[in-house]
Amino acid sequence: MRYHSDGSTTFNPNDCPDLGGPDMPSMGTEDYEPPDSEPDEPDAPEPEPEPEPIVVTVEDLQSLPIDPGGLNVQPGRGWVLVNKETIAYTGATEQYLRTHVLGTPVEVHVVPVDHTWDWGDGTVTTTEDPGAPYPEHSVFHTYTQAGDSRQITVTTRWIGEFQVAGSGPWLPVEGLATTTVTSEPFEVREADTYLTAPGG
């Protein structure tokens, strides 16, 4: 700062080295370097989706070719008698079946739970016993009225369990599958009685 006799003042930056001068470096943008910034972190990889569990549903169980075991009626001559035992039995038994779920091999084990017998005259009975042929028979019905074209129907319910890829624990199937078999039509006859003379 210089003071003149007329009272005016002038300012020369060269007179104040602390405030800069010809040797003061330029503060232009070309000389400005921003501080180093940290590089962006790479995005974390998306987690792999968990594989869908293998489950055999009751619909899968129902779709399997479960052998119902057939239905046998005795006497097997096309007719039975009123007030006489008509025998029925099925060969339903446990089975092992194979299928695929979501492209994975699965083994399924099915076991019959019970059997419901519709005797065709309005009578229905349910047993755990599949029955047996005469004389060890255990499932039978006695018709009280004659009739044409009677049929017996047996409905078997099955419980199942499954094993994935031939290893690991056996897991239960939620629900029961059913199979149904109907006999050929038969006639229910009244027995004819005849009187015969002694020694005749």
Q: Which two tokens stand for residue 56?
A: 């055999």
- Measured in degrees and rounded to the nearest 5, phi and psi for residue 60 equal -65, -45
Residue 172 CB contacts under 8 Å (≥ 6 apart), including other chains: 159, 160, 161
| Domain-located, residue 99 | yes
For residue 23, the model assigns a pLDDT of 55
How far apart CA 76 and CA 187 sit, in angstroms, is 11
Instruction: Say which amino acid occupies 126.
Output: T
Render pLDDT for 88-118 as a digit per residue (tens, 0 to 9): 999 999 999 999 999 999 999 999 999 999 9
| Domain-located, residue 12 | no
How far apart CA 168 and CA 170 sit, in angstroms, is 7
Give the residue-averaged pLDDT of 22-42: 58
pTM listed for this prediction: 0.71
**Taken in order 145, 130, 174, 99, is the CA torsion positive or negative?**
negative
Residue 191 — pLDDT band, cuts 50, 70, 90? confident
For residue 16, is pLDDT > 60?
A: no
For residue 166, the model assigns a pLDDT of 83
Q: Which domain holds residue 107?
A: 58-189
The least confident of 49-53, 72-76, 171-175 is 49-53
Instruction: State how many domains the chain has.
Output: 1
Residue 57 — pLDDT band, cuts 50, 70, 90? very high
For residue 159, the model assigns a pLDDT of 98
| Domain-located, residue 172 | yes
For residue 42, the model assigns a pLDDT of 67
| Domain-located, residue 146 | yes
Q: Which residue has the tokens 């003149």?
A: 4
Residue pair 65/95 in contact by the 8 Å Cβ criterion: no
Residue 129 CB contacts under 8 Å (≥ 6 apart), including other chains: 115, 138, 139
| Domain-located, residue 5 | no
Instruction: Say which amino acid occupies 110.
Output: V
Residue pair 177/158 in contact by the 8 Å Cβ criterion: yes
| Domain-located, residue 14 | no
How far apart CA 104 and CA 13 sit, in angstroms, is 88
| Domain-located, residue 6 | no
Instruction: Return the ∠ at Cα 172 (arms to 169 and 174), rounded to 5°.
Output: 155
| Domain CATH code at residue 170 | 2.60.40
| Domain-located, residue 37 | no
DSSP β-bridge partners for residue 155: 116, 180
Render pLDDT for 129-188 as a digit per residue (tens, 0 to 9): 999 999 999 999 999 999 999 999 999 999 999 999 888 899 999 999 999 999 999 999
For residue 48, the model assigns a pLDDT of 66
Instruction: Say which amino acid occupies 15.
Output: D
DSSP class of 78: S
